[in-house]
Structure 1
Amino acid sequence: MSARRVARVLIDSPLPQLDRLFDYVVPLSLLEQAQPGVRVRVPLRTAGRVVDGYLVELADEDDADRPLSELDDVVSPVAVLTPALYALARRAADRAAGSASDILRLAIPRRMVRAEKAWLAGEEASALAVSDESVTRSSKTLAGFPSLAEELSNGARVAVDAAPGLVRLPDGTDVGAWAALLAAAGVQTLARGRSAILVVPDHRDQAQLVAALSAIAPAGSVIETDARQSAPARYAAFLRTLSRVPCIVVGNRSAVYAPVHELGLIALWDDGDSLLSEPLSPGVHARDAALIRQELDGGALLFAGHTRTSDVERLVSVGWVTEITAKRRTSPRVVLSATREGESRGARVPSAAFAAAREALAHGPVLVQVARPGYAPVLVCAECRNPARCPHCAGPLQAARAGAVPVCGWCGRSAHAWTCPECSSTKLRMASAGSERTADELGRAFPGVRIIVADGEHQVLRIDDRPALVVATRGAEPIATGGYRAIVLLDGDRMLMADDLRIGESCLRWWSNAAALAAPGAPVHLVGVAGPVARALATWTQPAYARAELADRAPLRMPPTVRVASVEGEQRSVLGVVEHLRSEGIVADADALGPVTSDNGVRALVRFDYGHGSRASEILRAAVVAEALKSRRRPAKGRPPTPRNTLRVRVDVPDLDL
């Protein structure tokens, strides 16, 4: 009896019990089209329907007695799932106790027929040579970090602290010095005939990096990919990365999965930014995906930032990542501003910072960073100071301007006749000042000065070098030509009060990134903050702060010194999972936190060492599958169906937030 061709297919489904390869017979009519990596449609007998999937591998089988269904169709001849991409998705999903199909849903864009036909009809991309001038310029940029170029060419894992400040490109555009550094690393990798993937948090960073690359990279070698692109453009960019011709991919967190050929470098900028943390299941951080991919595919791995996260510092401390310091240390001129004797303690801008801003406005723009957007993000009762809440949904009330009717920040309803439930007062007080209110106040303090607001609703990417007061929320600061002549960082004490384990790291990152936009020698005033975070900014010793944070968290078993998983669902199921982890010796009694009531039943947090990670993820995933299979059981005849909470698991929770 002749052997039959069998396709092993990964079904594209969110159901955890389907996260494995299914065998299907390849019919004679599809033998030529059914190749590893193509999209296929297959029957799913348990559901009685046809579903999408990816053909992972083919095999010949002599056991014709084993009943197998046939492939229904081959959707596209393009092999979008490379063996390396499947291996990466499988490893990342297993580490996070998730499904490989969830990873691939992030990595492979939705098929666009026209873009695919255009790509199939077009000519294969030709190799692009890097000019000697570009190689020389990128080498000079990398020379600022001794041995960095050599380490990257040898495929090492390195962490660098990018120099603050701006650099001017040949076309007169200013970009962060970090962008020039990553662009140089990418071009050097391309010159060696290998591909580079440069991952940044958002479109602002991406625009700077693309501008830096356009000055030294060959035309057509840079591939942009991000969620802001149209679906056809994103799919076309993905198809280009399938080519065997090396390229430089620039994009957001999903770009780390780009299936480039001959990977030579993965670089992550500012890995502490929350935008690099994937919110969708299974929640794999771009940093973790990059570490897995570098281990599987080789090449170099570069972590760069103005600050050092405790996660990267842990990797440095165990020797997994090598720290490379700059040949010449540069830092902004940071001033810790506090109210002087005789000044009101409630003064938002101390006299020293006010005077610095006034003097700097004679020469160019001044940046003022605030914590929140809007006019009055927080309203309180004028009598008892309790937070003002919406009478319909209990959301926080906000004011769009002075004297305006308060509006709920959650449901959007107006509170025309608000009454305090505690003291029955009808008067409200503004407890905070957002970007718009700050702009109003500074506009009165500096009459005749141009005021620019930059936040989520008022996006400003660049400004010229004329005098202006730029009021920006954290992360929304525009680039000023030649840099800001002074920077004032407000609301620092309020930022530090956030209930977040990593708030110190986050504040240091927000302030450092803003300070890096200053012109050489320009003062950076941090208002009303003292302590370790302020000292780290003033002395520009962010790695030392990360080391101190790591040392403080170790005895308390806080992340990232240990891994943390969240288990949420019915109490019986959650307790069963925790007990299983205890019985395996993975979780000690002190490392099981909860359970506490949640929106989906109860939730427990479990902490475990990195050495137990594989076994812990295996147990958690098995529990999710078992719970999903239980929820599919039909109730006994005559009994109403009982609702079940599907068990939810999230591994590597960054904060112990119950």
Structure 2
Amino acid sequence: MAAQAAPEQLLIARVMLESPLPQLDRLFDYAVPSALREQAKPGVRVKVPLRSAGRIARGYIVETTEAVEYSGTLSEIDEVTSSVPVLTPAVWHLARRVSERAAGSASDVVRLAIPPRQVRVEKVWQLEQQSEGTPVEYRANPTVTGYGERVIDSALDAGRRVALAAIPAVHEVSPGVWVGRWAVTLAEAAARTLASGRSAIVAVPDYRDQQQLIEALSALVPLDRISQLDARQPNADRYRAFLRCLEAAPRVIVGNRSVVYAPAENLGLIAVWDDADPLHNEPLSPYASTRDVALVRQEQSGCALLFASHSRSTWLERLVEIGYVAPHAPDPAVLPHVIPTADQPGADAAAHARIPSTAWNTARRALEDGPVLVQVARPGYAPVLACQDCRTPARCRVCEGTLRIGGARQTPSCELCGAIAADWHCRHCESTRIRLVTAGTGRTAEELGRAFPGTRVIVSDGERPHLTVDARPALVVATRGAEPIAAGGYRAILLLDGERMLARESLTVAEDCLRWWSNAIALAAPRAPTIIVGVGGALARALVTWSQHRFAAAELPDRRTLRFPPMVRLATVTGRPETVEQAISSLPDSVEGHESATIDVLGPVDAGDGLVRATIRFDYAFGAEVARSLRSSIIRNSTGRTKRQTSKATGTKTSFRPPPVLRVRFDDTEILE
């Protein structure tokens, strides 16, 4: 009689569901059928049944085990939709930690980390993996220059956290190709990491910075070792680049804020350029910034972490102050030639272009050698119009929108509804005369063209972007952040509208302006003059001495006294009044071992549509406790009991629950604007 085969050990898969429901933010146990045992590996995509209404949900296998505490019968996995393990253990642990820190769901983070599946791209990649041989070893061993003898090299090799003051200059990486010197520094750091057999992730704010970085990397690293992950890419290209990151060969991975979640094999470096740029703030739940995610991932992986910028943010300065991040500056020091001026415009043609006499003469001399950059506050022709007599802002009579003028002789029109304001008159004083309060790129370019006849005028803003300009004489009028790279650097830079930029109501307005101006100044040719108009005091001193970190350090004591970020953390809670009140009442009173830590609540205040918003300020020691408490409130609100209502038409009773409204956002500084 033949012996019977021993029963096969039950394999259990622990699955993370793709669901926006906070109550489903945990791992669910499913039995793996025998037919799927070979495919059901950690990290693969699956479809699993839900007990309610026989629905099928998508998810990822996080881990498999042969032991489970549940004593009942487990549902089985319905399908393994892809055998590629796209959710690596490192990314899963990162998603879990980031979501817990921000009272969010891990599935929301995984959605940012893993692009949508492209079946055809995936199959081609799998065939390539079967046919490809051993990857060619990358043997170059570059060094990071400009910061003393191998200072940054030692920090990278030791896995330290570094705040790097970028060198303010432009650099020619190949004939006719110019990039910011910061891009060369980060490319050298990434190339050194790649040479050590480890991968590097470099996060930058937008596509302009990505292009500079790719150009700098192309001169140091083989192109097949560079992957670019960007939301602007077609889905197929992005997924193809993502799959490349899963390979064992080390890579340099470049992209915007979500690239920090890339599944890099053997991660050796995370580099972040200009961490204070608002484009690094994720607009989707759980709203984690690139800086915060990079700090968490560095702590988990032990890799080196490099923050580079021309103007250090107060968030980074706080980390430097407590000794968590080490500062490094260029050696020898590089000092741009910055000239603040309070001169008033002269009586000549320069007056019409809002250029003081000092700046006028500087620009005229510089145009003999090459391009001159003129930075203005806003795009458009005349972004703001007002009454000539009483200065009341001009509004549309149809929708109360802002009026604008698209050219020197055009009739004002509404920028919201487009209505023509042909018969406009002031509602305050009945005047029919209108004046231009501010000048945008269009009007500035027009006036500069008249002031400098025969000179090329180039406008660069959101509607007319220019990434580069040649070395021929030209006046380049650009909004902040849209300045092109000039071949050899600008021969002079004029920073106009300083007072208007500083007039914005915001907690970070000073450091934002300092960052905008510093990034523009860094585009100048060696010893080329920069004229900054209408700015004095501490900001002007920081630019003249190129010591932006001292300005950030001087901000911290005031922030500490006023209990403003980054000296404390913020969390905003938005919802119905009773829901917000319940969430606030559940907050912890103290944290063990941190008796001096405090927590206070501002508001609630009206947020419109029957909602209110409360702002919670708390010390960093409270972070984990506050996040857990607010997360519990979100789940409790989402799973509240249903109510019964009677239909007037049929008389039957039906169950319904009002949509759960309780939004929580951590470290949101926009409410202070």
TM tier, shorter chain?
over 0.9
- Counterparts of 1:92-241 in structure 2 under 5 Å? 92-123=98-129, 124=132, 126-132=134-140, 135=141, 138-139=142-143, 141=145, 143-144=147-148, 147-241=151-245
RMSD: 2.2
Alpha-carbon distance in 2 for matches of 1:323, 1:100: 33
CA contact (8 A) 1:339 1:347 kept: no
* Residue of 613, 618, 633 corresponding to 1:623: 633
Aligned residue among 56, 64, 73 for 1:50 = 56
In the TM superposition, 1:90-489 aligns within 5 A as 90-123=96-129, 124=132, 126-132=134-140, 135=141, 138-139=142-143, 141=145, 143-144=147-148, 147-340=151-344, 348-489=354-495
Give the letter for the 1:159 counterpart: A
Equivalent residues of 2:204, 2:274 under 8 A apart? yes
Q: Secondary structure at the match of 1:613?
A: helix
Conserved 8 A contact 1:366-1:469: yes
Amino acid at match of 2:644: P
Secondary structure in 2 matching 1:160: strand
Q: Structure 2 residue aligned with 1:518, among 524, 531, 546?
A: 524
Other structure's SS at 1:169 match: strand
Q: 2: distance between equivalents of 1:208 and 1:62? A: 51
Paired amino acid for 1:399: I
Tell whether 2:588 aligns with 1:594.
no
Instruction: Go from structure 1 to structure 2 and tell me whether the alpha carbon gap of 1:381 and 1:169 turns closer, same or farther (over 3 Å shift).
Output: same
Correspondence for 1:581:
587
| Deviation, structure 1 residue 41 | 1.1
> How much does 1:125 deviate?
6.9
Cα gap change, 1:63 to 1:558, in 2 (>3 Å): closer
AA aligned to 1:489 is L
Give distance in 1, aligned partners of 2:412 and 2:133.
Answer: 58
Aligned-partner residue type, residue 378 of structure 1: V
Alpha carbons 1:369, 1:471 under 8 Å: kept:
yes
Report the alpha carbon displacement of residue 387 of structure 1 after superposing the two structures with TM: 1.5
1:392-444 per-position Cα deviation (integer Å, ceiling 9, x unaligned): 44332222112323333334444444343333334332111000110001000
Match of 1:635 among 639, 644, 647: 644
TM-superposition CA deviations, 1:86-105 (whole Å, max 9, x none): 00000001001111111111
| Structure 1 position 268, deviation (Å) | 0.4
**Percent identity, aligned pairs only?**
51
Q: Give the match for residue 661 of structure 2.
A: 646
Counterpart in the other structure of 1:565: 571
Partner letter of residue 339 of structure 1?
A: D
Partners of 2:309 and 2:149 in 1: CA distance: 14
- Structure 2 equivalent of residue 31 of structure 1: 37
TM-aligned CA distance change 1:532 to 1:521, over 3 Å: same
User: Do the aligned partners of 2:146 and 2:331 also contact (CA within 8 Å) in 1?
Assistant: no
Deviation at 1:144, TM superposition (A): 3.8
Supply the distance in 2 between the matched residues of 1:594 and 1:125 (Cα, whole angstroms). 62
Counterpart CA distance in 2 for 1:525 and 1:173 is 26
Tell me the equivalent position of 2:3: none
Give the Cα–Cα distance (whole angstroms) in 1 for the partners of residues 555 and 321 of structure 2.
13
Partners of 2:301 and 2:516 in 1: CA distance = 33
Q: Give me the TM-score of the superposition, normalised by structure 1.
A: 0.95
Gaps of at least 5 residues in structure 1 are none
Contact map agreement 2:598 2:618 (CA 8 A) in 1: no
SS at match of 1:68: coil
The verdict on how the C-alpha distance between 1:346 and 1:455 changes in structure 2, with shifts beyond 3 A counting, is closer
Q: CA deviation at 1:126?
A: 4.1
Contact 1:142 1:185 survives alignment (8 Å):
no
Compared CA separation, residues 515 and 642, structure 1 to 2 (3 A): same
Structure 2 Cα separation of the partners of residues 245 and 172 of structure 1: 32
Q: Does 1:536 align with 2:542?
A: yes
Counterpart of 1:628 in structure 2: which amino acid? S
Contact 1:582 1:589 (8 Å CA) reproduced: no
What per-residue deviation string (whole Å, max 9, x for no partner) do you get for residues 528-562 of structure 1?
11121121111110110110111221111100000
Give the Å deviation of 1:14: 1.3
Q: Secondary structure at the match of 2:221?
A: coil
**1:614: which partner in 2?**
624
Which whole-Å CA distance do the structure 1 matches of 2:389 and 2:546 have between them?
Answer: 43
Larger mean Cα displacement after TM superposition, 332-341 or 457-466:
332-341
1:157, 1:301 within 8 Å by CA — same for their partners in 2? Answer: yes
Specify whether residues 46 and 248 from structure 1 end up closer, same or farther in structure 2 by C-alpha distance, changes over 3 A only. same
The answer for the alignment partner of 2:551 in structure 1 is 545
Matched residue type, 2:23: Q
Amino acid corresponding to residue 453 of structure 1 in structure 2: V
Matches of 1:228 and 1:146 in 2, distance apart?
A: 36
- 1:122 counterpart SS class: helix
Q: Aligned partners of 1:71 and 1:590: how far apart in 2?
A: 45
Mapped to 2, the partners of 1:63 and 1:497 lie a distance apart of 61
What is the match of residue 496 of structure 2?
A: 490
What secondary structure is seen at the aligned counterpart in 2 of 1:174?
Answer: strand
- For residues 615-644 of structure 1, the C-alpha deviation after alignment (integer angstroms, 9 at most, x for no partner) is 1100111111111112x7243455785745
Conserved? CA contact 2:580–2:614, under 8 Å: yes
**Equivalent position of 2:14 in the other structure:** 8
Q: TM-score, normalised by structure 2?
A: 0.93
- Distance, in Å, in 1 between the alignment partners of 2:338 and 2:504 is 23
- The offset of 1:127, in angstroms, is 3.2
Asked whether the equivalents of residues 559 and 655 of structure 1 are also in contact (C-alpha less than 8 Å), the reply is no
Report Cα offsets for 1:376-404 as digits up to 9, x if no partner.
Answer: 11111233222222334433222211232
Deviates most, 84-93 or 330-339 = 330-339
- Whether the aligned pair in 1 keeps the contact of 2:187 and 2:213 (CA below 8 Å) is yes
8 Å Cα contact 1:16-1:625 kept in structure 2: yes
Q: How does 1:46-85 map to 2 (within 5 A)?
A: 46=52, 48-61=54-67, 65-85=71-91
**Residues 144 and 327 of structure 1 are in contact (CA less than 8 Å); yes or no, is this contact kept in structure 2?**
yes
Deviates more, 1:510-519 or 1:12-21: 12-21
Q: For residue 483 of structure 1, what is the amino acid of its counterpart?
A: G
After superposition, give the CA deviation of every residue in 1:160-184 in whole Å (9 maximum; x if it has no partner): 1011011112333111111110000
Cα gap change, 1:27 to 1:420, in 2 (>3 Å): farther
